[in-house]
Amino acid sequence: MTLNVLTLSTLFPDMSRPNFGVFVERQARELASRPDVNVTVIAPLGIPIWPIGLANQYAPLRALPRKERWKDLTVYRPLFSTIPKIGARYNVGSMTRAILPLVRHLHAQQPFDVIDASFFFPDGPVAQRLSRALGIPYSVKARGADIHYWGKRRDTRAMVKRAGAEAAGLLAVSSAMRRSMVKLGMDAAKIRVHYTGVDLDRFEIADRAVAKDVLGFEGPVVLCVGALIPRKGQDLLVQALPRLPGITLLFAGQGQYRRSLEKLAEELGVDRRIGFLGSVPHDRLPRIYAAADVMALPSSSEGLANAWVESLACGTPIVITDVGGARELLDRPEAGKIVDRDPEAIAAAIGEILYNPPEREAVRDTALRFTWEANADLLLHHLKGIARGG
Q: What CA–CA distances, in Å, run from 167 to 115, 162, 164, 171, 381?
A: 10, 8, 5, 10, 16
pLDDT at 295: 98
| Strand 73-76 with 67-70, pairing | antiparallel
pLDDT at 84: 77
Residue 144: pLDDT band (50, 70, 90) is confident
Contact 208, 291 (CB under 8 A): yes
Contact 123, 131 (CB under 8 A): no
Alpha carbons 315 and 157: distance in angstroms, whole number: 39
Decide if pLDDT at 251 tops 90.
Answer: yes
Residue 48's DSSP bridge partners are 82
Containing 164, the helix (H) or strand (E) segment is helix 157-166
Higher-scoring residue by pLDDT: 52, 300: 300
Alpha carbons 342 and 358: distance in angstroms, whole number: 23
Residue 58: pLDDT band (50, 70, 90) is confident
Indicate the SS3 state at residue 143: coil
Residue 240: pLDDT band (50, 70, 90) is very high
Contact 36, 2 (CB under 8 A): yes
What is the percentage of the chain residues whose pLDDT exceeds 70? 98
Decide if pLDDT at 27 tops 70.
Answer: yes
| Strand 73-76 with 318-321, pairing | unpaired
Decide if pLDDT at 55 tops 70.
Answer: no
Q: What CA–CA distances, in Å, run from 30 to 5, 79, 120, 196, 202?
A: 13, 26, 21, 12, 15
Which of 279, 282, 278 minimizes the C-alpha distance to 23? 282
Angle at 89 between CA 64 and CA 121, to 5 degrees: 65
pLDDT at 1: 84
CA atoms within 13 A on the CB side of 14: 24
Contact 37, 31 (CB under 8 A): yes
Alpha carbons 126 and 136: distance in angstroms, whole number: 13
Q: Which residues contact 279 (CB under 8 A, 6 or more apart)?
A: 19, 252, 253, 254
Decide if pLDDT at 99 tops 80.
Answer: yes
pTM for the model stands at 0.91
Decide if pLDDT at 277 tops 70.
Answer: yes
Average per-residue pLDDT in the chain? 94
Which of 25, 28, 61 minimizes the C-alpha distance to 45? 61
Contact 31, 39 (CB under 8 A): yes
Residue 174: pLDDT band (50, 70, 90) is very high
Residue 51: pLDDT band (50, 70, 90) is low
Q: Which residues contact 154 (CB under 8 A, 6 or more apart)?
A: none
Instruction: List pLDDT tens digits, range 293-305.
Output: 999 999 999 999 9
Residue 22: pLDDT band (50, 70, 90) is very high
Q: Annotate 266-307 with three-state secondary structure.
A: HHHCCHHHEEEEECCCHHHHHHHHHHCCEEEECCCCCCCCHH
Which of 203, 202, 224, 215 minimizes the C-alpha distance to 315? 203
Phi, psi (deg, nearest 5) at residue 71: 50, 55
Task: Report the C-alpha dihedral over residues 320, 324, 328, 330, rounded to 10 degrees.
Answer: 0
Contact 184, 151 (CB under 8 A): yes
Decide if pLDDT at 52 tops 60.
Answer: no
